[in-house]
Amino acid sequence: MKLEGTIVAMVTPFNSEDEVDQAGMRENINYLIDRGVEGVLAAGTTGESATITHLEQRKIMDILVDEVAGKVKAIAGAGSNSSKESLGLVKYAETAGADAALVITPYYNKPQPHGLYEHYKLLTETTDIPIIVYNVPSRTGTDIDVETIGKVSQLDNVIAIKEASPDLDKVSQIEKKMEELGNRDDFRVISGNDNLTLPMISMGAKGVISVVANVDPQRMGDMVRYALKGDYVKAEELHYELYDLMKVLFVESNPVPAKESLNMMGRPAGHVRMPLAPLKEENREQLKKVLQDLKLI
């Protein structure tokens, strides 16, 4: 499996009883597919993985696979700071029929580089599902280094890294390491930062796992497709059209602004779970203006 294009890091919609809005999730999946995205990811950070139960997470995986029905890539968020818990989630994603599992570097306990390697090794020795490593040091407290990425990339079934550090030079270092290992065609770098996706593609990345695409899947998807084709003039135009949206969606903790955007657009989203809180009013007005400027509301 070769990952490419725009994969949407979907929000998890909740209803007024604080349950997963299953019908709303199915509606969102079809909305995104109809607008040309190449994949959808459920139960990731944007899907509030930190506050959904494992039972809910498994149900979300089932809905994802059932509704996608092979039309695009279905990717399941399956990480944990416990290798044992992560293995259980990855196994479930495989049984459910997901195309790949996104596995965050274990957070809070700050494992050593050789511990990170053993974590992913355990998953690949026990399952056959393609695995995407997710590096987001701002949330986990751990930044997987290039040497360790190189070792992990040679494990069976590890197909990509979602790189969400702000260090663009690291993208070049990873691509160079893959070239040295003869693994550049098989192991993909995927952007984890919407606003850095265009420069990352110019350095060899093959797409994005995107928050922005929840709100504007058409333009985000077009930007990535133009960039991957080498049409950087059109890609740059779309990058700057979307730039204010890329920034305002992180004016408070993700996915607070993304969910508020969807609510303004009349799409299923609902509230965020505590300890996240509703968007501040001054930021809500800023967000509303950006959505109006893009003619999304």
Helical H segments across the chain, by residue range: 22-34, 54-68, 83-96, 113-126, 137-140, 146-153, 168-181, 197-202, 217-228, 232-248, 256-265, 281-293
Vertex 60 angle, CA 56 and 63, to 5°:
140
Q: State phi, psi for 187 to the nearest 5 degrees.
A: -115, 120
Integer Cα distance of 124 and 174 in angstroms: 21
Find, among 75, 121, 139, 136, the residue nearest to 102 by Cα: 75
Active site residue 259: no
The DSSP 8-state label assigned to residue 212 in this structure reads G
Active site residue 162: yes
Annotated active-site residue in 92, 117, 120, 162: 162
Give the rounded distance of the alpha carbon of 172 from its chain centre: 21
Cβ atoms of 99 and 78 within 8 Å: the answer is: no
Annotated active-site residue in 92, 120, 134, 226: 134
Quickly list DSSP for 91-122.
HHHHHHT-SEEEEEPP-SS---HHHHHHHHHH
Catalytic residue IDs: 134, 162
